[in-house]
Amino acid sequence: MLRSCRHALTKTSRSYGRLASCLVTCLLSVSLSVTAMAADHAAVEPFRLQLEAPIKTWDEAIPLGNGLTGGLLWGSENTVNLSLDRGDLWDERLPELYLEDNWNYDTIRQLKAAGNQAEISRLFDHPYNHVPYPTKLPGGRLVLRLAESQRAQSFELEMRQAVGRVALSTGRLECFFSAVQPVAMIRHWGPPLTYEFLRPGGLDKLGYQPAEFGAADGLTWMVQEAALGLRYAVVVAGKRSGDQTQLAVAITSNRTDQDPLAAGKQRVREALDAGFETLLQSHRRWWDDFWSISSATIPDPRLQRHFDKLSFVWFGYGRELGVDPGRAASQAYRLPVHTRWYKATLSHNTVLVDRQSQQPAAGVLESFAAGHGDGSQAAIPHVVARCRDAYPGVQQRRLLCLLPAYLLVADVLTSDESHQYDWVFHHRGQDVHCLAADQDADFKQAFPGAEYLARTKTGVAEGPVAVQFVAPPITTHLHLAADGPTSVIVGDGVGQSVLDRVPLVMLGRRAVSTCFAAVLEPVPEGRKPTVTAVFQDTSDDQIRITVRRADCEDRVTLDADGKVTVVVDEK
């Protein structure tokens, strides 16, 4: 996935490419946090992962495998994909440059000392960016097309048995990669399906010849000639019995079989003769033995949790900017700093309510768009998530939206009673400045975890708030839209140790409901920030945020259903 992201970003400007890399971490942090929250409440099924359909890309799929071969189960509507792989499929060719005597670490050190970045790039960056090998080779994709009446509803992984399932609008589908036989098995209930192989398009970049496809005697196959004499085959066989279709899939190569096609044909025939249920029973016995040998359980899963629901981390310009101090270089679990800082909500980039840590809670991912990284209106990456139970009686909805020059963070807090809401953000750097925070203050006894704050200043802003985090060669400018009086606390907190200090800001409001709409814009030395102001307009149906930049405006709208609309460069 990261390699795909890298290629996508090369289409954009260099500055946007660097900034866009932050979104991967932002979205993963939020998405994984939400997934973990949901898993916390699945105590009855702690080893069952369920994802709602559609799954539109392979890198978000259900993973299956048996050590040597594996697959990714994903799809949408009436199409189910199984992306196939085998661990020993590699193009091991080396660029000629790698074989030169000076292609080593000593050369890097010498060039670094001489300040010769151009030669470092020629020797060590250029081959990676322009020579497609050495690289892992994908096996291909098996595409199953079901009847129009059968639509994918959800995908599930039963981890203890290594079995994947697809719940359909009518019928279902199961798949596993046998732990005892070198085959994958698929069982489908419903009308007859059709299937085909798709050869990976990336093989063309390696200069390979087209694959050989064939079908005979109920078998379908693909054979691919690769570099350095490697030859591999993917073979599938199917049979129909009553309302069931069974498929057997084998991925073979001449690294282990002299004739991979013949070996694949033999394996799928033998697997179909044995049948899905017979192979499933032996597969389950293997996994039962595996779990009986060694496993670890924690009586109360909440003991491992950090109270960091809807938190995020942020990377840009090749460095960590928005840092999550809830991780230590060495976890001293018996010391107060672990429970009162590293584990506490205060040390995460989220919202405190009444200056207390969150309660164990589940969350919901409302919408997600990875975007295309080209900065167009249709390609703006964003994520929306909500949490109702972290603070009883309070709902938080968070929007992260990455535009070419900045990250927008919007938090909507709603309740039936008045609360103290504190928007917390930690940023790696040397210092933090805010004109509104002009009074020295000591908060060591004010609320839990405050004893780990230092160099604190405070004040009150009646309108919008501007904060600067100084982290040479980057200064991040934070703009918060006005929504009534806002208390401001700046200072620093604990990082990887009590000696590692990380600047932070706490922006607080006392209200029944409120919205924090903030823009984070990282600006390199020698450049000027582009954002001049942020405004918000909230109603029961939506929140609209306007970001004013030089001679234009961006508008981001979040509606009650989680839909995000972005209009950029509006004159």
Question: Is residue 146 domain-shared with residue 288, that is, in the same domain?
Answer: yes
pLDDT at 40: 38
Neighbours of 368 (CB within 10 A): 18
Question: Is residue 181 domain-shared with residue 123, that is, in the same domain?
Answer: no
Residue 539 has pLDDT above 80, yes or no: yes
Residue 33 has pLDDT above 90, yes or no: no
In-domain check, residue 105: yes
pLDDT at 550: 83
In-domain check, residue 315: yes
402, 371 in Cβ contact below 8 A?
A: yes
Question: Is residue 125 domain-shared with residue 138, that is, in the same domain?
Answer: no
Average pLDDT, the chain: 86
In-domain check, residue 162: yes
Cα–Cα dist 105/180, whole Å: 43
Percent of the chain scoring above 70 in pLDDT:
86
Full residue range of the structural domain in which residue 109 is found: 94-130
Q: Averaged over 488-513, what is the pLDDT?
A: 93
Question: Is residue 149 domain-shared with residue 194, that is, in the same domain?
Answer: yes
Question: Is residue 71 domain-shared with residue 107, that is, in the same domain?
Answer: no
Percent of the chain scoring above 90 in pLDDT:
64
Question: Is residue 519 domain-shared with residue 431, that is, in the same domain?
Answer: yes
Q: Averaged over 62-91, what is the pLDDT?
A: 94
pLDDT at 79: 96
Residue 555 has pLDDT above 70, yes or no: yes
pLDDT at 306: 60
| Euclidean distance between the first and the last CA atom of the chain, given in angstroms as a whole number | 36
Question: Is residue 201 domain-shared with residue 189, that is, in the same domain?
Answer: yes
Comparing 363 with 101, the larger pLDDT belongs to 101
Question: Is residue 113 domain-shared with residue 187, that is, in the same domain?
Answer: no
- Of 293, 328, 349, the position where a domain reaches its end is 293
Please give the single-letter amino acid code of residue 449.
G
Question: Is residue 270 domain-shared with residue 388, that is, in the same domain?
Answer: no
In-domain check, residue 6: no
| Cis ω for the linkage preceding 464 (within 30 of 0) | no
Query: Following DSSP, what letter does each residue of 304-339 receive, concatenated?
Result: G--S-TT---EEETTEEEE---S--SS--TTSHHII
In-domain check, residue 57: yes
Lowest mean pLDDT, pick from 164-173, 200-209, 471-480, 484-493: 200-209
Residue 498 has pLDDT above 70, yes or no: yes
| Alpha-carbon dihedral sign for residues 386, 390, 394, 398 | negative
- Of 108, 130, 152, the position where a domain reaches its end is 130
Lowest mean pLDDT, pick from 208-212, 363-367, 394-398: 363-367
Q: Averaged over 321-339, what is the pLDDT?
A: 74
In-domain check, residue 10: no
Comparing 305 with 475, the larger pLDDT belongs to 475
Coil, helix or strand for 116?
coil
Read off the pLDDT band of 343 (50, 70, 90).
confident
Comparing 376 with 525, the larger pLDDT belongs to 525
Question: Is residue 466 domain-shared with residue 530, that is, in the same domain?
Answer: yes
Question: Is residue 341 domain-shared with residue 437, that is, in the same domain?
Answer: yes
Residue 214 has pLDDT above 80, yes or no: yes
Bridge partners (DSSP) of residue 367 are 384
Question: Is residue 206 domain-shared with residue 326, that is, in the same domain?
Answer: no
In-domain check, residue 286: yes
What are the E-state strand segments in 404-530? 406-415, 419-426, 431-433, 439-440, 454-461, 465-471, 474-480, 486-494, 501-511, 514-524
Lowest mean pLDDT, pick from 286-295, 353-362, 416-425, 507-516: 286-295
CATH number at residue 310: 2.70.98.70
SS (H, E, C) 125-185: HHHHHHCCCCEECCCEEEEEECCCCCCEEEEEEECCCCEEEEEECCCEEEEEECCCCCCEE
- Of 75, 106, 130, the position where a domain reaches its end is 130
Read off the pLDDT band of 16 (50, 70, 90).
very low
Cα–Cα dist 262/231, whole Å: 12
Number of structural domains the chain divides into: 3
pLDDT at 169: 95
